[in-house]
């Protein structure tokens, strides 16, 4: 397997075919294909309302599409149960499936997130950044083949995002990740491959960006500024 930080041949891509999706009489998108970077990050951008969240919910199995892969979805809202402790929120998937929870694994993830002293605390006692780290630990606990991130950082301030980027990149190393974001810089800093979703019905277009180097990329890297500016221009073209 090639390094996902370099250009990869088709053999290093996960090829997905997604059937058309309608909401009532409206066709949100037709039959589309999506090639995700195996063991790397693929970014998805598009204007609000174009269908990005619908697409990612289809991939997660929440909107009728059955995926052959184990998937897990993490959103901008941590969706922690307020009456459950941190550790109880992390093992929730096993509890719901009536499986024996792996507390050792959950505690290892808490240690990775720097939250080992908070396992018995309730979510409302934690900061927003800490809650997102709990949500990430819960995501990793499920050990899915495909990790779907739908605006996971949009509710956080800039400093908290900067603290979480390297943590999440390291925690998801070796996983196949699809991230949806409205932030062009975020997409360029984290992704190895980028898609633009546009039109009505929506279509996907892979942008020919040469994304290399260790992620998360620094804000002052020339390629970050260059491609982020191009992404903004591409999105501007989609204005009615």
Instruction: Say if residues 176 and 147 touch (Cβ distance below 8 Å).
Output: yes
Enter the pTM of the model. Answer: 0.87
The two three-digit tokens of residue 167, written as one number: 């943590």
Phi then psi for residue 84, to 5 deg, are -105, 145
Backbone angles phi, psi at 203, to 5 degrees: -130, 160
Closest C-alpha among 105, 28, 38 to residue 69: 38
Q: Which domains does the chain have, with CATH numbers?
A: 12-70+173-240 (3.40.50.300)
Residue pair 152/179 in contact (Cβ under 8 Å)? The answer is yes
Angle at 215 (CA atoms; ends 93, 160), nearest 5 degrees:
65
What is the chain's pLDDT, residue by residue, as a tens digit (240 residues)? 344 444 444 459 999 988 888 888 888 888 999 999 999 999 999 998 899 988 998 888 766 666 777 899 998 889 999 999 999 999 999 999 999 999 999 999 999 888 999 999 999 999 988 998 899 899 989 988 899 999 988 878 888 889 889 988 998 998 999 999 999 999 999 999 999 999 889 899 999 999 988 999 999 999 999 999 999 999 888 766
Distances from the Cα of 158 to the Cα of 125, 172, 182, 230, angstroms: 21, 21, 14, 22
* Environment class of 112 (CB within 10 Å of its CB; exposed 0-12, middle 13-18, buried 19+): middle
Euclidean distance between CA atoms 179 and 185, whole angstroms: 13
């Amino acid at each position: 397997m090639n390094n996902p930080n370099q250009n990869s041949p088709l053999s290093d891509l996960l090829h997905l075919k997604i059937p058309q999706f309608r909401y009532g009489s409206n066709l949100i998108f037709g039959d589309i294909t999506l090639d995700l970077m195996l063991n790397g990050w693929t970014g998805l951008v598009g204007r609000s309302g174009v269908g990005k969240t619908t697409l990612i919910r289809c991939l997660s199995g929440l909107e009728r599409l059955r995926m052959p892969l184990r998937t897990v979805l993490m959103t901008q809202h941590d969706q922690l149960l307020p009456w459950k402790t941190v550790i109880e929120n992390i093992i929730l998937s096993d509890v719901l499936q009536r499986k024996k929870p792996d507390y050792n694994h959950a505690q290892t993830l808490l240690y990775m997130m720097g939250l080992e002293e908070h396992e018995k605390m309730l979510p409302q006692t934690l900061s927003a950044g800490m809650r997102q780290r709990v949500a990430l630990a819960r995501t990793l606990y499920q050990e899915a083949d495909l990790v779907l991130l739908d605006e996971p950082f949009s509710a956080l301030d800039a400093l908290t995002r900067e603290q979480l980027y390297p943590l999440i990149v390291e925690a998801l190393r070796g996983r196949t990740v699809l991230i949806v974001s409205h932030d062009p810089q975020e997409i360029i800093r984290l992704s190895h491959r980028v898609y633009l979703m546009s039109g009505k019905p929506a279509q996907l277009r892979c942008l020919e960006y040469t994304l290399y180097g260790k992620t998360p990329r620094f804000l002052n890297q020339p390629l970050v500024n260059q491609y982020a500016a191009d992404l903004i221009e591409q999105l501007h073209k989609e204005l009615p």
